[in-house]
Amino acid sequence: MTGTRRMLVAGNWKMNGLRADGEERAAAVARHVAGRDAGDGPDVVICPPATLLFPLAAVLGGGPVSLGAQDCHEAEKGAFTGSISATMLREAGCRYAIVGHSERRHGLGETDALVRAKAAAARGHGMVPIVCVGETLEERETGDTLEVVGGQLAGSLPPDAAGSDVVVAYEPVWAIGAGRVPSEHDIETVHRFIRARLEERLAAGAGVRILYGGSVTAENAAAIMAIPEVDGVLVGGASLDAAEFCRIMDAASEMLAKAAQNR
Ligand code: PGA
């Protein structure tokens, strides 16, 4: 983690949760955040299924826990059955939108160009896109991780993005939902590489937050967030348990408190 960028803890609920348990979980997270001193902890965002955006916006009530979408269509409106546009997501209260998650890149064949268009649409409507990148197991084993991640970054980041209006999430495909994570050294290597690419490509690349995602839990979160150039985490499975998600937020808060003491 690095002092000037604000830590971010994001929960991606994926296709899980009906209204009652979603509202309860979001309320528990909001209560937990309300219990800490203002400005003390990380930024927190919850990305529920689209059906829960409006009810959760009511639960979160514009408070410190932000709402995010799991995807965002690139077009403003039109004949795109089943899709949701950035304008609609904004109206539902989203401040962030995940784009290019591997479950969409690999499961639904989304290309870098499409991910870039989605990120641009999100930004164009005042949301912060969380642009996901990451290699498959095969790509890691053949030593192609940095090339793959570099290619995804080059192809899917809006070229005029800067600083706080975009977030990058490094999520190795083989670590997602798998119960295993790369070594700290491997995470650091990829994050340093992403930082260097961001600084080369973007005016304020040094201000872009880089999250790690893939089997983050309350047990490993503190160690992961202590790795240089890791500015927070994108959490899937463990975000479905409010108590565990709160412990991950606490790990970030403790780290920020320690950093403040050492300053
Ligand atoms: P996981 O998912 O934490 O369940 O591995 C992370 C993600 O896909 O964003």
What would the pLDDT profile of 176-209 be if each residue is shown by its tens digit?
999 999 999 999 999 999 999 999 988 888 999 9
Ligand 1 pocket: which of 167, 216, 224, 240 to mutate (most atoms within 8 A of CB)? 216
| pLDDT grade for 3, boundaries at 50, 70 and 90 | low
Q: Is 68 in a helix, a strand, or coil?
A: strand
Within 8 A by CB and 6+ apart from 147, the residues are none
| Cβ–Cβ < 8 Å for 195, 160 | no
- Determine the Cα angle at 94 with ends 102 and 100, to 5°: 15
Residues 166, 204: Cα–Cα separation, whole Å: 10
| Beta pairing, strands 167-170 & 43-47 | unpaired
DSSP letter for 122, please.
Answer: H
| pLDDT grade for 158, boundaries at 50, 70 and 90 | confident
Ligand 1 pocket: which of 12, 46, 102, 133 to mutate (most atoms within 8 A of CB)? 12
| pLDDT tens, position by position, 64-122 | 999 999 999 999 999 999 999 999 999 999 999 999 999 999 999 999 999 999 999 99
Residue 90's nearest CA partner among 121, 115, 116 is 121
Catalytic residue list contains 200: no
Tell me which of 101, 103, 139, 191 is the catalytic residue.
101
Within 8 A by CB and 6+ apart from 244, the residues are 217, 218, 238
Residue 59's nearest CA partner among 95, 23, 20, 96 is 23
Q: 193: part of which helix (H) or strand (E)?
A: helix 184-201
Is 234 a pocket residue for ligand 1 (Cβ < 6 Å)?
Answer: yes
Ligand 1 pocket: which of 215, 219, 220 to mutate (most atoms within 8 A of CB)? 215
The token pair that represents 180 in the structure block: 């295993």
Is 45 a pocket residue for ligand 1 (Cβ < 6 Å)?
Answer: no
User: Cα(177) to centroid of ligand 1, in Å?
Assistant: 5
Tell me which of 110, 135, 139, 171 is the catalytic residue.
171
Catalytic residue list contains 125: no
Residues 171, 175: Cα–Cα separation, whole Å: 7
Q: Does the pLDDT of residue 133 top 50, yes or no?
A: yes
Is 106 a pocket residue for ligand 1 (Cβ < 6 Å)?
Answer: no
Residue-averaged pLDDT of the chain? 95
Is 248 a pocket residue for ligand 1 (Cβ < 6 Å)?
Answer: no
Residue 102's nearest CA partner among 189, 171, 198, 32 is 171
